[in-house]
Structure 1
Amino acid sequence: MYLRTERQIADVNNISDPNVIHDGRNLVIPLPCSCDDVDGMKVVHYGHVVPTLNTVQQIADEYGTNESVLLRLNGIADPNDLQAGAVLDVPLKVNNSLDYPLLVPNGTYTFTANNCIQCKCDALNNMTLQCEPSPKEVKLAKWSQCPSTQCKLVSPVTLSLGNTLNGCVQPCAYAGYNNQTILTTPLPDSGCPSKSSIISIFIIDLYIL
């Protein structure tokens, strides 16, 4: 389904024995893809294996594109010629990130900042990249522990990445990383309180352990 070997999936998920996977465990699947523009929009090209009885229109609806684009990209003249088991080039819309050149396809997520940060893209959220600290079970790369992911709002108030303040929509956003630090930035929102009112709100600082 994902054009990956069991060894590749096992290595990404730090699984020593691919034959032993516990029920309910979430797996990270490395997608085979490439990036460019389609109809003037940034996309990631995903290699999709066509299931039995699937139509071009069904696949287009599932991945947020349209039938004509899929037919053109894959050189298919008649949608009835689609064959089960064929690998279809599916363009997935992506979110741009301040962590250049990080691109996240619609409906997927990825890890960045040495696996300390998980970012996801969802068309239902206006294609706005949503990032938060990675789940504790994710294996870190290079770092022994993750740096702080807090935004400095108005001293002494701080807010952790992915958290909200008094109903605001994600005021603390991911902005990249360097050798020792995860960068964050507060995003303005019309529903957020003014700077003067922020000072009176008590916030518990959260740290990644």
Structure 2
Amino acid sequence: MTTALFPRARRGELLVVGLCFAAIVCEGYDLIVYGAVVPELLRYEPWHLTPTEAGAIGSYGLFGMLVGALCAGAVADVLGRRRTVLISVAWFSLAMAACALAPTPGWLGLFRALGGLGLGGVMPTAIALTVECSAPHRRSLNNALMFSGYSVGGILAAVLAMPLLPRYGFRVMFWIGVLPLVLVVPLLWRYLPESAAFLRAEGRLAEAEAVARRFTAGRPAPTAPPRAGPPRGR
């Protein structure tokens, strides 16, 4: 029954959507969690933060996210979309560990900016993978489902903050942001496919056709512009 309802390509499509959804949930949490901990940061006596300083620290993460999003396309063209998602999720998870250990507001701002680079790299790459692996008549739906993970992550940050902040302080909220490194990154590594378009541009035609058969039912994937010079690995 399951096979009849969800043929192989459809299952592959749902797998990609689900994995990208999980990555976006993590991104939503890591971005929104700062807003959830701001009241606790303002009450943290060792730092004596003012509202203006707290707002500035929050903006550093958004600036890093802007830079990451602008660079994501170029990075994905070199490393591939799969590696870009993996590196981005691992990067902002490690940055959250650094935020949890930040000794001063200045270091917290720096680590938020660095984490924003990874946050900015996930979103456009996840969208590209979702669209490529979706049937044409489901691309908008799958993209919307995948992108809803951002709101889920933000809600999760707010819900967890209510019981945890009063008892454990703001650092525990950043430590929770490290969990994707051990829970989500292994799943992405094991199951997330590489873009067939990237594989074709690299000259890895057999791999590209295998990905297309499994995840797109053999539909032609969007083609990437050819690279100058011979493909890597030759």
Scaled by the length of structure 1, the TM-score of the pair is 0.26
Scaled by the length of structure 2, the TM-score of the pair is 0.24
Larger Rg: 1
Higher relative contact order (CA 8 A, sep 6+): 2
